[in-house]
Structure 1
Amino acid sequence: MSERFFPALLIALLGLFSGSFINICIHRIPSGKPLLTPLPQCPSCRTRLMPIDLIPIASYIILRGNCHYCGASISPRYPFIEFLTALLFLLVYFKIGAGTVLIKYILVTALLLLVTFIDLDYYIIPNSLVLAGLIAGAIFLPLTREHTLISALSGIIFTAGFLLLLNIVSRGGMGMGDVKYGAFIGIILGWPLSLLAVFLACLTAGLTGAILLITRCKRGKDPIPFGPFLSMGTFISFMWGENIKKLYIYLLSGL
């Protein structure tokens, strides 16, 4: 049996329960409600859910997607986020391995998911999440030594500065929440990986926007949250950014 099986199992369980907590945070952080109390409740009958009702994915399957108390349908997004969190945590573990860097990127991944779904639901990126991310980035900078302080500062200045420029040019179309989020991305990735994250975010946002317009799912003036694209670009960059950079240099050398 692989030496990684039991650690991977623990990481998967951590991901499932983290995803369950992320579901709670998505609804409570924007409204400023306490995160730990009270227990979650059914959105239909308002009955407080017991711990047995909150087992990630399993409760949804056992209850067949319905509330145990009133029978109302439960959104499949809840188990989806739990599954997605576990999957991403496992990807991070198998890519990075054990150690301080793993702890860093497990926390970063959780924050990326939080920002993604809060921005999708409320079109905001809470300052509290950005501040927590900046503090975590500053703490992990000397612990992991992935990049230098100069690299981190350069990443912050470039990423936040570029997004601020987009905010000015778009006359507020790019929100200030995205600008602040850019500072977090800068300290986490450093320079030049933060450049890659922003490039991937702009590329995927542009393609998604074009598809939504062509399919008439969105009109020209309808807002599209940019936070999810920044999150995706950040995840790809810290996972495979070095490989992408090497491929880019290789392709340039062949010209």
Structure 2
Amino acid sequence: MDFFYPILYGMFGAVTGSFLNVCILRIPEGENFVTGRSHCPACKRQLNPLDMVPILSFLFLGGKCRSCGERISIQYPLVEAGTALLFFLCCQAKGPGAEAVIMCLFGSLLTVGALIDARHMYIPDGISLSILVLAAGSLMIAPRPGLAGRIAGAVICGGFLALLRVLTKGGIGLGDAKLMASSGLLLGVGAGMAALLAAYILAGLWCLIPLIRRRVNGRTRIPMAPFFALSLIAFGLWYREIMAWYMGLFLS
């Protein structure tokens, strides 16, 4: 594939990542993330356009505020670069069309939900609701998976976590169940279930060393949205390729 469109997607992804940073910081505080002017968190000075060029502004300013010299969080360029890579991969995997746009929007919503969960231990309902709307809209664009598979994905993925929440007496967050239900409606039952399993495997591997060192225990709260986000994006883009590779391990 010609790299023109993937690179174009990546550039737009970097700009989108700048907006996602605003959402990540303002949504938990109840601030307006659409119309409010961007400002330095330390000195509150409003930023000018040259201070908000994705990735480049952070590098040119040496990671510090132009006005007060306070260090700028590394989150800003990382989210911008990560979203650029996400959009690039979406275009590479799906081609420069509607399906790629759907996955770009899906990945953006997951990014916001993942980082808010990592910081504040909750997933805003607006994230799951937006994915639900995206899933409904995608039915008119992407014929696969079919409606039955999508409904099964929502019921099984969301219902499984809801059941675990009951069995563990609140050990599973309700936001996790909502996120996986809406994501299952978008990706379908196959990719949704695979992503759910993969997320818990990733979380288990992530916690393995702290568990051995007794830094976590059965009562430690673990934000699952980052693991859900990684697995949902991976299986949303390469479900067939991953499953073919997995099956090949046993058939070869």
Category of TM-score, reference length = shorter chain: over 0.9
Describe the shift of the 1:12–1:223 C-alpha distance in structure 2 as closer, same or farther (beyond 3 A): same
Within 5 Å, which residues of 2 pair with 1:237-252? 237-251=235-249
Report the counterpart of residue 209 of structure 2 in structure 1.
Answer: 211
The answer to whether the 8 Å contact 2:10/2:86 transfers is: no
Q: Distance in 2 between matches of 1:220 and 1:48?
A: 45
Offset of residue 250 of structure 1: 4.1
The answer to whether the 8 Å contact 1:57/1:83 transfers is: yes
Report the counterpart of residue 43 of structure 1 in structure 2.
Answer: 41
Q: Distance in 2 between matches of 1:213 and 1:48?
A: 44
Q: Distance in 1 between matches of 2:213 and 2:78?
A: 25
Q: Count matched residues.
A: 252
Q: Distance in 1 between matches of 2:89 and 2:213?
A: 33
Report the counterpart of residue 9 of structure 2 in structure 1.
Answer: 11
Unpaired runs of at least 5, structure 2: none
Report the counterpart of residue 221 of structure 2 in structure 1.
Answer: 223
Report the counterpart of residue 103 of structure 1 in structure 2.
Answer: 101
Which digits, 9 at most, give the CA deviation of each residue in 1:132-174, with x for residues without a partner?
A: 1101101111311121110000000000011112212222121
Unpaired runs of at least 5, structure 1: none
Offset of residue 23 of structure 1: 0.3
Q: Distance in 2 between matches of 1:174 and 1:125?
A: 12
Residue 26 (structure 2) aligned to one of 28, 31, 35: 28
Q: Structure 1 length as normaliser, TM-score?
A: 0.93
Within 5 Å, which residues of 2 pair with 1:165-176? 165-176=163-174
**Aligned-pair identity (%):** 35
Within 5 Å, which residues of 2 pair with 1:61-80? 61-80=59-78
Residue 152 (structure 1) aligned to one of 150, 173, 181: 150
Q: Distance in 2 between matches of 1:218 and 1:249?
A: 34
Describe the shift of the 1:172–1:61 C-alpha distance in structure 2 as closer, same or farther (beyond 3 A): same
Offset of residue 40 of structure 1: 1.6
Q: Distance in 2 between matches of 1:184 and 1:29?
A: 20
Q: Structure 2 length as normaliser, TM-score?
A: 0.94
SS in structure 1 at match of 2:189: coil
Offset of residue 217 of structure 1: 4.6
Offset of residue 216 of structure 1: 4.7
Report the counterpart of residue 119 of structure 2 in structure 1.
Answer: 121
Deviates further, 234-243 or 32-41: 32-41
Offset of residue 215 of structure 1: 3.9
